[in-house]
Amino acid sequence: MQSITTQDGTEIFYKDWGVGQPVVFHHGWPLSSDDWDAQMLFFLEQGYRVIAHDRRGHGRSSQTATGNDMDTYAADVAALAAHLDLRDAIHVGHSTGGGEAARYVARHGAGRVAKLVLIGAVPPLMLKTADNPGGLPREVFDGLRKNLAANRSGFYWDFPIPFYGFNRPGNSLSEPLRMNWWRQGMMGGAKAQYDCIEAFSATDFTEDLKRIDAPTLVMHGDDDQIVPIEDSATLSSKLLRNATLKIYKGFPHGMCTTHGDVINRDLLAYFRAS
């Protein structure tokens, strides 16, 4: 397996396929780089170098008990980018990976980043606070932690239903998608995934977004049941200096999988645009 070892001894697994302009994919919680397989195969055929890593505590990376926070996640990406000497890279982050990508680009990406894409991403802040009244109450995230600790396997078996919008009228349940989601989640470490709930819900990315000057495409489904669009993409697109907001009617949180043909087409057009 390809991996790097960070300064604190954590092994970060990654995939690195092809040649050309690099496209770096950042996965959501509690998944792994496997969630990007369809995109990686597609863009490899389009002549791009495609790279995806398993966040620490997820997938095949070390099951860390510490460092499960956005600052460390971004530093891990910076270590990977330096190891691979990535230049002129396009970073694509979904959900929690959108937060990771935004923090990396804002704090470590100078001279290395060409474009950024945020898909169903958690910035600027998911948690409801006095300054973010439209966010979700802490009780929502406390519930996620409680369910994970009580029965992670059962919790992860149920979570793909709203994630992919299988609970919406007219949408049939895909057992293979559900099982693949469950497989990825169960590969990771319970402690790291538990901690990551705080990282994706309570981290404020407002200042990161303000600092990013790279062109950024913000993509979000208006039926996202995991990261509501009103307090994420709508606000992020206003905080970014050079943003394009693209809203997908009726698309769920996992739209890169359920509507991969549409998302891949739009990503390719954005990558190729000057």
Residues 199 and 68 sit within 8 Å (Cβ to Cβ): yes
Catalytic residue among 26, 53, 220, 253: 253
| 53 is known as an active-site residue | no
Q: Residue 47: left (phi > 0), alpha (psi -120 to 50), or beta? A: left
| 259 is known as an active-site residue | no
Report, in this order, helix, strand and coil percent for the chain, each rounded to 5.
45, 15, 35
| 3 is known as an active-site residue | no
Nearest to 233, CA basis, from 220, 243, 223, 224: 220
Torsion angle defined by CA atoms of residues 214, 79, 207 and 256, in that order, rounded to the nearest 10 degrees: 60
Nearest to 89, CA basis, from 55, 56, 116, 124: 116
Catalytic residue among 224, 232, 236, 259: 224
CB atoms within 10 A of CB 231: 20
Burial of 269 by CB count in 10 Å (0-12 exposed, 13-18 middle, 19+ buried)?
A: exposed
What is the Cα–Cα distance from 170 to 248, expressed in whole angstroms?
17
List of residues 6+ apart from 249 with CB closer than 8 A: 221, 222, 223
Structural tokens at position 82: 């330096």
Give the angle 161-73-242 at the CA atoms, nearest 5°.
85
What is the Cα–Cα distance from 92 to 263, expressed in whole angstroms?
12
Nearest to 93, CA basis, from 52, 152, 131: 52
Catalytic residue among 61, 95, 232, 236: 95
Catalytic center residues? 95, 224, 253
